[in-house]
Structure formats: C-alpha cells, structure tokens
Amino acid sequence: MDESERYNRQSIIPDWDQSKLNSAKVLILGIGATGSYVATNLALTGVGELILVDFDTIEESNLNRQLLFRNQDIGKNKALVAGERLQELNPQIKISVHTKNMESLPRKYTRGLTLIASCLDNFPGRRWANSLALRERVPMVSGGMYAFLGNVQTVLPYETPCFECQPLISQDKLSQACTPLGEARKDMAEEKEEVKLPSISPISSIIGGLMTQEIVKLLISVGRPINNYLFYDGLHNAFTELELSRNPNCPICGENYKLKEAEVIAFKGEKVSEFKNRIAYAFGMADPMITLRGKILSPDDTIQCKSGDKILVLDERLAAPIALKIKLKKVED
C-alpha cells in the first residue's frame, strides 16, 4: 500500500511534516473513553509507534462511549483488543500493548518516547503519569471528563506547570473512576463502594479529539499549544483557557526540589512510621518508602539521622523518587 496516498489529504496542509509523525513514539495510558478516541486518531494519522497501556477488562457499560470495543469483547483486556483493532485500521504502524498496571511498565516502552497521552480516570494514575513525563522529560497531554464537562491539560516538563503545581479539581473528585470496575480493577479495588460518574460518547470524542489535536501539533511543531489548561462546558458550548503558573515549591518540578534545597522536618527519636505518615499527608502519597544512605527504613525503626542528611522518597504515585533534606528537631523545639 502506498503510504503517501494514505496520508495525502493531511500532507497537503501547510507546514505538515508526516515524517515527524512516522518517527514518533507515543505512550497512551488508559484505553477507555478518551483513550479509545486518542488511540484511533493517532493510528489513522500515522504515528509510527503506539504503546497502549491498560490492565482493565471490557465491561458492557463501556460500550456507550469506548468506540474500539464490541459486545463480543466483553471480559477481554482493553489494550489487547484495542491493539488488534488499531492494527487493522493501519497496518503500517507499530503497536505494542502492556496489559498489566502502568507502574510495572518495562523500561523498553519508555525509552525514546516522544510524548505521553494520559487518558486516565483516577487521580493517583494521573499523578504517576505526570511524574513519568517529568522523569522522561517528554510532553504530556492529559484529558478528563464528567457528564457534559471536560478538560485538556498540556504539560511541557520544566517549562509549563505540571499536574502537581496547581491541581484545579479536588483530590476526591479526581480519584473517582468514570467507569464501573472491570474484572481486573474489581480484584484490586478496596471494599468501599465505587462511585460511578456520568459519561457520554460526545464528550469522549470531543475531549479525545482535542487531545489528539494538541498531540499532533506538538509532534510536528505547528500552531500554539493549549496554554496549559482548557476547560470545556458542553451544555453551554463554552471553552475556557486558563494560564497557570509553575509552583517553585512543587515536589515534582519545582526549582527548590530540583536543586535539592527543600527541607523536611524530622524529630529526633520519632518512629519512621510517624515520619512516613507526615510525608504521605504533605505530598499526597499512598505509602511512601524512605531510603537513607542507601538503606530502606523500616516503619518500626526510629529516626537516626542528622540535619542535612538527604533521603529519597519513593511511592506508587511517583514514577521517580523525590529527594528531601532532613532538618532535625528535638520534640520540645
């Protein structure tokens, strides 16, 4: 098949560079509502390599807005089904799939990345994607939706605000999934009742389309990227673009942390478990693991360090550890 003929209509757009798309490697995290549209658009546009990541399985309730799936796909893994269907749409591109949780993504998939598309429906996942983008120093385009509302955010590492700098939606809202649990997610879910958020196909396609548009613009270096955050109100057909500011104290991209100047207070003789809880609360972490002088600290240990010591903090919500400097105090200080 003649590749030039396949991409003829887009190639006649002024300043279009199909070769940049052909050589791009894009990681798509989440192949659900917005992810289905983003993956389909990028495949049809001719992005050279797509890595699809989703450990969840297809539920009947997905079929109202996740266009890559059919009735016969119920119970199957989303990334696998999407990969097969996208390869049929465009046999000329390379598609890889990862059917386990994204935190276990092999290094071969992140090496040489051009861009990350975050199509995730939960707050911890979006935070992890954000930290991955900053670790790899590649742009990230993220999208979310709720009923007739949607948003798109573009993160250019260490140039524009990252997801952690100025979260515009409360953690409780962003931590709720918009999809009932598939079998894989049911196995991992907590016993508390899952909150089902309203979602419809038109908003999925609009937000997925806007995300793809931003991705293509970044890949071929045309136009003006979204000024960090775009909000869409479908009920009133209104777009609002917000210019955010970088936070120098952001634990992920802030200059203070980048320069290893940020301090954290530790109390002499306190248990590591108490210290961990304070860090988890301060930085919104799930279960931080702390290393000091190359040793992982046990929760039952007591703090044995001095002011100026550096610790590394790892957490499932971060793709890379953050470094903090200890400021030791006595309990009575």
pLDDT tens readout for residues 10-24:
999 999 999 999 999
The one catalytic residue in 165, 178, 250, 253 is 178
pLDDT single digits (tens) 103-146: 888 999 999 999 999 999 888 888 889 989 998 999 999 999 99
pLDDT single digits (tens) 82-95: 999 999 999 999 99
Q: What is the mean pLDDT of the chain?
A: 85
Q: Which residue has the higher pLDDT, 113 or 295?
A: 113
Coil, helix or strand for 329? strand
* Host H or E run for residue 83: helix 78-89
Helix axes 201-220, 33-45, angle to 10 degrees: 40
d(CA 248, CA 233): 31
Respond yes or no: is residue 305 known to be catalytic: no
Q: Which two tokens stand for residue 238?
A: 């209104």
CB 48 within 8 A of CB 94: yes
Q: Which two tokens stand for residue 159?
A: 């140039």
112 Cβ partners below 8 Å, 6+ apart? 25
CB 145 within 8 A of CB 178: yes
Helix axes 33-45, 78-89, angle to 10 degrees: 30
Beta bridge partners of 266: 328
239 Cβ partners below 8 Å, 6+ apart? 230, 231, 232, 233
d(CA 27, CA 136): 12
Q: Give me the phi and psi of 32, to 5 degrees please.
A: -105, -125
Q: Which two tokens stand for residue 55?
A: 């450990």
Between 57-66, 69-78, 182-191, 220-229, the lowest mean confidence (pLDDT) is in 182-191
Q: With bands split at pLDDT 50, 70 and 90, how would you rate the model's confidence at 274?
A: confident
* Host H or E run for residue 328: strand 322-329
Q: Which of 107, 126, 121, 102 lies closest to 52, judged by CA?
A: 102
Q: Which of 150, 125, 132, 148 lies closest to 34, judged by CA?
A: 150
Identify the structural domains of the chain with CATH numbers, from first to last.
3-242 (3.40.50.720), 260-329 (3.10.290.20)
d(CA 321, CA 252): 9
CB 264 within 8 A of CB 279: yes
How many other C-beta atoms are found inside a 10 Å radius of the C-beta of residue 320?
12
299 Cβ partners below 8 Å, 6+ apart? 271, 272, 273, 276
pLDDT single digits (tens) 208-225: 999 999 999 999 999 998
